[in-house]
Amino acid sequence: MKVAVGTDHAGFLLKQTVVDTVKELGHEVLDVGTFSDAKSVDYPDFAYKVGKTIQDGLAVRGITICGSGIGACIASNKMNGIYAGICHDTYSAHQGVEHDGMNVLCLGGRVIGPELAREIVISFLNAQTEEVERHQKRRGKIKAIESGTYTGD
């Protein structure tokens, strides 16, 4: 699977752990930057780059890292077809994929350390979306909200 990884300056120190973990699992990394923590850069730029690679079919999943994970998550979820979740535990990382169709994992580089990040990435990438009726129905409602056709039922 191809996995896009992007980070701002605040997530940069965690990025190598994430990239190494993705590769250890046998996946291909598409690194969209940043490539240094020497200067401040804006997390929406990198959240967009990760999301765009998924929208364009160049990656199946993505991982964004900013200081808290929150900003990257908010920016990611503004993009059609991008279902991002901030996860600082392994349960949320796999459950978000299995139940909710999450395709972008957001991490806080100033919140978690490398070992926990590694375990979360493994949980996220090993998870598969469950094609169970109740989850499909709920994901359908999310897509209706996204497209503006949701009727509230």
Q: Which residues are catalytic?
A: 66, 99
Helix then strand then coil, in percent of the chain rounded to 5, is 50, 15, 35
- CA angle, residues 138, 106, 145, in degrees to nearest 5: 30
CB 108 within 8 A of CB 65: yes
CB 103 within 8 A of CB 76: no
Which has the closest alpha carbon to 14: 66, 60, 59, 61?
A: 66
